[in-house]
Amino acid sequence: MRSAIMLQCFMKSLFSILALAFFISADELSDYQKKQAAELEAFRKQQNAGVKEQQAEFKRYLVMSRAQFAEWQKKQEEEYNAFRKSIRKKWGSFIEPSNKKWVEYSKDAKTVAAVDFEKGTVTVEAIKMPGETPEEVRKQIENAVVRVAESKGSMTAAPVEAPDTLQTILTKPLLQDQVTLANGQAVNSENVKELVKETAANENVVPIENGEGKEKIVFTFLLTPDHLIKRMTPYLPLVKNYCEKHGVDAAHVLATIHTESYFNPAARSSCGALGLMQLVPEKGAADAYRKLEGKDLVPSASYLFDPEKNIELGCVYINLLQANYFVNVKNKSSNTFCSIAGYNTGAGNVAFAFTGKRELGSAVSIINTMEDKDVYSLLLQKLPYAETRDYLKKVVERMSLYR
C-alpha cells in the first residue's frame, strides 16, 4: 500500500513536469529531465528496499521454532474450527479436505467446489435461498466453476479461496487445461454456460436439513482424462534434480507423490500434512529440514506449499529413512519397502511389524534373514495400520509406472 501511494505521488510529479516542459527552454527541460531521472532512481531504490524488507520478513516465517510452531498450529486449528462451524450452520454439513480431495469455498460461503483427484471429478455446490430464482443460482454455479478452474490454491487454514494474491500457492491455476468442454477448449467465463449444458444431467437438488427452506444445487463434471499427467509434468525436472542431489530413486519419489497428493501442490490432509509429498511440519518435514540445513526448526505452510521446497524435503526425508533409519537393512528392495512404509507411519511401526516392539535394531536383524519378497509380504500382513498396508501396496505398484 505504501509503495502504491509513493508511486501515485511520483506520477503526479511526473505529469506536472511534463506539463511545464511546454513552457520552458531546452536547457531548463534538460534540468527537469535530470531531476526526473534522479527522482525515478530514488523511487526505485526505495521500492527495492521495501521489497527486500518484505522478503526478509517473509523468510523469517518460512521456518519456526517448536514453540512458535505450536502457537501457529493452535491459531490454525482455531481458524479452521471456527470456519467449519460457520459452514455447518449455513449449509448443514461441511466438506472436509484431504490429501485426495481439494476443497475451496467462496469468500461469501455461498458456493463450494470439491475436486476429487483420485476419481477425477469436480463437484460444485451452491445454496439456493428461499425466493432466489433458478437463474440466480445457475449464475452462482457458473461463477464457481470458473473460480475452481482458475484457482491458484490458498494457504489459508480454512478451505476458502485466497483473500489476496499473497495467500495463493501457485503462479498458474492448479487445474490449468484440466477443465475443458467436449471439444477440448479450456473453460472460462465466456464459455462456462456450455459446460453446464453439456453436463446438465449431473445436476441435483438436495434439501438442507433444518435449513429453513434452503436447498443445495449440486453439479458434477469430470476433469480431462489426462489430468494427472498434466499436473505431474511441471514437477518432473524438480524431481529429477533433487533425486540426483540426494541419492534417491525418481520412480520412488513420483510414486510417493502420486499416492500422497495426486500431484496436487495445495493438498492438506486431516493430520496436517502439506503439499505434494504430504509432509507433516513438526515431524517428517522438521526431520528432513534438520538434515538439510542442520537446524532444529519447523518448516511453515508457506515453505511446504512451495512445490520445489516440498519436493526437496520429501527427497531428503526418503534418503533419511533409507540411509539412516534403515541403513543396516542389507537388501536394497527390503530397504525400499521399509522406507516406503516408514514414510507413512514412522520407522518404529515398521519395526513393530517384525518384533512387536518399536526398536529398530532387533527388527533389522530379522529383516536381514529374510528375502525381500518375504519382507514385503510380512509388512502387508503385520503393519499396525490398514492405511499403511494399503499405502505400501499402492506405492510399490505405482513405482513401475514411472520406470
Domain ranges of the chain: 2-48, 66-225, 230-402
Q: Is the pLDDT of residue 68 over 80?
A: yes
201-205, 220-224, 274-278, 362-366: range with lowest mean pLDDT: 201-205
331-381 tens-digit pLDDT: 999 999 999 999 999 999 999 999 999 999 999 999 999 999 999 999 999
Q: Is the pLDDT of residue 5 over 70?
A: no
| 40 vs 373, residue with greater confidence | 373
164-175 tens-digit pLDDT: 887 899 999 999
Over residues 34-48, the mean pLDDT reads 52
Model pLDDT, residue 108? 92
Q: Is the pLDDT of residue 38 over 90?
A: no
30-39, 135-144, 171-180, 392-401: range with lowest mean pLDDT: 30-39
Model pLDDT, residue 209? 75
| 311 vs 62, residue with greater confidence | 311
Over residues 242-261, the mean pLDDT reads 98
Q: Is the pLDDT of residue 55 over 50?
A: no
Measure Cα distances from 16 to 31, 41, 53 in Å.
14, 18, 31
Cell of 253: 519419489
Alpha-carbon torsion 147, 229, 275, 341, what sign?
positive
Provide the residue count of the chain.
403
Most confident among 41-45, 53-57, 235-239 (mean pLDDT):
235-239
Q: What is the mean pLDDT of the chain?
A: 87
Give residue 398's region: left, alpha or beta (phi > 0; psi -120 to 50).
Answer: alpha
Cα–Cα distance between 335 and 372 in angstroms, integer?
Answer: 9
Q: Is the pLDDT of residue 43 over 60?
A: no
Over residues 53-72, the mean pLDDT reads 71
Measure Cα distances from 56 to 50, 259, 292 in Å.
10, 35, 21
| 204 vs 281, residue with greater confidence | 281
Model pLDDT, residue 243? 98
SS3 346: coil
Class of domain 230-402: mainly alpha
Amino acid at 117: F
**How does residue 202 score in pLDDT terms, banded at 50, 70 and 90?**
confident
152-162 tens-digit pLDDT: 999 988 999 98
User: How many other CB atoms sit within 10 Å of the CB of residue 61?
Assistant: 13
Cell of 114: 470439491
Most confident among 30-39, 80-89, 130-139 (mean pLDDT):
80-89
SS3 130: coil
| 37 vs 127, residue with greater confidence | 127
Q: Is the pLDDT of residue 47 over 50?
A: no
Model pLDDT, residue 207? 84
Cα–Cα distance between 347 and 161 in angstroms, integer?
Answer: 37
- Choose among 141, 156, 158, 149: nearest CA to 115: 149
